[in-house]
Structure 1
């Protein structure tokens, strides 16, 4: 081994001493390429020599570059790292090879964490040499590869690494990221969607009404709100896709950009499937999140062609959460009352029913029944307020203490409007979960820790289930109820992944078809 290393050093000295005549020593340069098949030390030294004299042998550059690429795929981690580190020097001297080198590095981004940083850092150096060309090549790779992990790593590099690294991107690059992002969204999986959408929703598109509408249309297409909806299809990925899309669309709705199509979809498709959604993993969290989204969507809903057809869906679900007063008034405890879900549904009903003011008054029996429910539920609100006062000074969930008074005040205001002889729809409230959003989202999140979320407050009976007949007992026996924990976004990345795969055109780790309900 000592002799082979010594020979390499002698070859290096020959090439160095040749100076302006170095190009005449092509045979010596070829010897260096042959040593890329030698032992570990030979491979590392050969890679350095090849890169140093690369520009002097134009006729051998293709062969030399392929020799370096072979080392980038070596089984030894340290050799892969050494080979990748010489690529920026090659690109600096011979910029015509930037696209080819970028394409190879884009594939190598999927390496294991132990040496993932090297292709990332190497690609960053090459980006400095040709920003626009490098990003164009990466996007071309994204559109042509069938490897889900390669796509994800490439988009992570562009939309997180580059965007974060550059304080101000050029107009050309911003336009490229914007146009390519719009192409990627329709065929994206959950992870890709989550990487690209934050950039799009912070781009210049949001500065104009036309741009905002374009983004809303893009999200609507991805959510497939014009199609049929089966919450159990693809193991619940349909639900995840819709909710994630709506989360990104909500900030875009305003007086000029209406949420009408989304609101109709939630009334006609999500609410009728509410029970089915509850059967999914973290079903309770998904259900509550869907109600929060419906409430927010209803804020900017435009004119509905047949409003009563959609309002009745909210009304029926609202009655499910607002029981009738019990026939037997002797029992002491009230059933479970889900105040936070009622706030969402009552708010959505209040927003949409104003488009069909005769919905409640057309049938006196319907109005009488609903008012009985409102009265009974209002008692529950009063009882829970007293319960909170009773717990004053005790250790309670901080978010709960912030939200609870707002929930009760909102419900009381909405009920007051609906309890008029002829129901009115005049009060304007701020949804309780919106009032603390800014404070909550500033808290750092760790994927390894359970996600803390807003906890609904409910009355609970003595045996844990709703009694057939009950009445309030002035706040006695009330406790704060915590629903099942979890966070719906945990399901968004459930597409399959395989083991590490390397190579130019060699086996991939899972095709794009494995991304479940997110794939169109």
Structure 2
């Protein structure tokens, strides 16, 4: 049979590869039939079909079917050879591109790594033949397929092989086409796939402008359906919205705003968080998201009503000062939940910059008076803990366990320091909102710098008022561009400082 295939080749070659004769056409059809023979015949016929297919456009459908059959062969060598020839079919007839891309995307589900690599290489070769149609074909297959593995690998291919190309291989017009096509299918994807598309788009050169980044934020807002509100009990929906908000964070700036997210949290979420069947870590994560959103929030409707909700939730975390009696003061140490307090106080501190009249409004006079009493009591507790923590941090420690314990104390120290800074602002008359704070879950390098800068300290009086002399500032851009934080919860112990233990996620410290 091998000799017969060579005879067919000679016929096609003698006829100069043209389809002007019935003899050449019959020879080509017989080559296609030879695909069904043994391994050697398959390899040889495939090689000759790739050489002459461009001369027989009327037989292209049968040609593609034959190559697809080889992609299902038991011999991986034959499968890889067939996959390698797909770009040749596209060069022979551009009408085959969409079908070929569909087949190749299906083949991304292969188990063999070398086979998947060959599939990716063939797709990239076709991309260089016709970039726009290739991108459209990939995204169309993602949109159409019900196979999770296929969609996941196709999206990963887009992110790792196409979105990372330089300007030569991904020029402006092709990038714009990629952006447009991604936007067209984005709202039809599931949550994980949508996040992948947002990540992909956010890395593209054309999406680095303010207008483009605001457009990405708007896409996330639409995917969250914030206008539908929240019923206060559906934790799955809340978790989904929180995930999307977390991915929107890296897009925010002083000109790309978080207002709709903040309003959603104030209107529907913060009053219900404490009642939800969630772990402390997950509740803290929700408060942290709100805190990080607040610096990028612009003015919104009904500020008094919405700030009152935030204020009231913060008050639930602020213990009342002990009542002095004839027998003395109650010495029971309250459970200061500083991690939660830091988030809520930071949110109030940031939003009050836009509405400074809230804390001095006549109707809030009694409430604010109680608020300040609790802040001063909290300040004294925080001062005690920061002293203990600072002494522990300045002590000599050795070994991995001690290093981990030092990291734990460093974050705990930063939480208390942040709370003190904000208390000093809030206890002024009228309240001040000038201090900028590095939130405690920022990268460790920032915390270390903040600790060293705060060694000069701040002078305070017994009421918690004072002058901040530490330099704890950061730009909005630095605060915005960071990895998601570790979930660390700090409740200061009443006695000796102890190291944190691993939480249910296995790797983070819980205080």
Structure 1-normalised TM-score?
Answer: 0.77
Find the aligned partners of 1:206 and 1:310 in 2 and give their Cα distance: 33
Matches for 1:142-153 after TM superposition, within 5 Å: 142-153=142-153
User: Per-residue displacement from partner, 1:348-376 (whole Å, max 9, x unpaired)?
Assistant: 11222452634466355423432332123
The structural deviation recorded for 1:75 is: 5.1
Equivalent residue runs for 1:243-262 within 5 Å? 243-262=242-261
Which structure is higher in RCO with an 8 Å CA cutoff and minimum separation 6?
1
- Contact 2:258/2:296 (CA < 8 Å) preserved in 1? yes
How far apart, in 2, do the equivalents of 1:439 and 1:41 lie?
66
Structure-2 change in CA distance of 1:156 and 1:388 (3 Å) = same
CA distance, structure 1, for counterparts of residue 215 and residue 97 of structure 2: 34
What do the CA deviations read for 1:151-197 (whole angstroms, capped 9, x no partner)?
A: 33333222321122445421111111111222233222233223221
1:456 counterpart = 2:489: yes
**RMSD of aligned residue pairs (Cα, Å):** 3.4
Q: Is the 1:190–1:241 contact (alpha carbons within 8 Å) kept by the matching residues of 2?
A: yes
Structure 1 position 377, deviation (Å): 2.0
For residues 447 and 351 of structure 2, what CA distance do their matches in structure 1 show? 29
**Structure 1 37/382 Cα, relative in aligned 2: closer, same or farther at 3 Å?**
same
TM-aligned CA deviation for residue 134 of structure 1 = 1.6
- Name 1:217's counterpart in structure 2: 218
- Classify the secondary structure of the residue corresponding to 1:478: coil
SS of residue in 1 equivalent to 2:237: helix
How big is each residue's C-alpha offset from its partner over 1:194-223, in whole Å with a ceiling of 9 and x where there is no partner? Answer: 322123334466554433332222211112
Range that drifts further, 331-340 or 267-276: 331-340
Partners in 2 of 1:460 and 1:302 — Cα distance?
A: 38
Deviation at 1:112, TM superposition (A): 2.9
Compare 151-160 and 124-133 and name the one that shifted more: 151-160
Q: Which residue of 2 aligns with 1:157?
A: 157
| In structure 2, C-alpha distance between the alignment counterparts of 1:396 and 1:458, rounded to whole Å | 20
Q: How does 1:12-161 map to 2 (within 5 A)?
A: 12-16=9-13, 19-20=16-17, 24-74=23-73, 76-114=75-113, 115-161=115-161
Residue 386 of structure 2 is matched in structure 1 by 385
User: How many pairs are equivalent?
Assistant: 457
Query: In 2 relative to 1, CA 210–20 (structure 1 residues): closer, same or farther, beyond 3 Å?
Result: closer
The 5 A counterparts of 1:237-316 are 237-275=236-274, 278-279=277-278, 283-316=279-312
2:202 maps to what in 1? 201
Distance 1:123 1:435 in 2: 39
Question: For the residues of structure 1 that align with 2:181 and 2:506, how far apart are their CA atoms?
Answer: 30
Instruction: Name the CA shift for 1:277/1:68 in 2 (closer, same or farther; >3 Å).
Output: farther
Instruction: Quickly say closer, same or farther: Cα 1:256–1:19, change in 2 above 3 A.
Output: closer
Deviations 1:400-433 (A, max 9, x none): 4554443222211111122235434343333233
SS at match of 1:25: helix
Counting only pairs closer than 5 Å after superposition, residues 351-390 of structure 1 correspond to structure 2 as 351-354=350-353, 355=355, 357-359=357-359, 362-390=363-391
CA contact (8 A) 1:277 1:286 kept: no
**Of 200-209 and 134-143, the range deviating more from structure 2:** 200-209
Query: CA–CA distance in 2 between the matches of 1:64 and 1:274?
Result: 61
Matches within 5 A, 1:487-498: none
**Residues 292-335 of structure 1, C-alpha deviations (whole Å, 9 max, x = no match):** 22112211222232222222222232233322234597776634
Instruction: Find the residue that maps to 1:272 and give its secondary structure.
Output: coil
Aligned structure 1 segments of 4 or more residues deviating by more than 6 angstroms? 328-333, 437-441
The whole-number CA distance in structure 1 between the counterparts of 2:53 and 2:298 is: 65
Measured after TM superposition, the shift of residue 227 of structure 1 is: 1.2
Alpha-carbon distance between aligned partners in 2 of 1:183 and 1:81, rounded to the nearest angstrom: 33
Q: Tell me which of 478, 495, 498 is aligned to 1:479.
A: 498
Quick check: 98-107 or 116-125, which moved more?
98-107
Flag the 1:339–1:393 CA change in 2: closer, same or farther, 3 A: farther
The match for 1:176 is 177
Is the 1:15–1:25 contact (alpha carbons within 8 Å) kept by the matching residues of 2? yes
Q: 1:261 to 1:139 in 2, by over 3 A?
A: same
Against the structure 1 CA distance between its residues 95 and 302, is the aligned structure 2 distance closer, same or farther, given a 3 Å change threshold?
closer
Aligned to 2:435: 427
Structure 2 Cα separation of the partners of residues 154 and 404 of structure 1: 43
> C-alpha distance in 1, partners of 2:102/2:334?
63
CA distance in 1, matches of 2:18, 2:204: 53
> Counterpart in 2 of 1:324?
320
Give the drift of 1:52. 2.2
Unaligned runs of 5+ in 1: 442-450, 462-475, 489-520
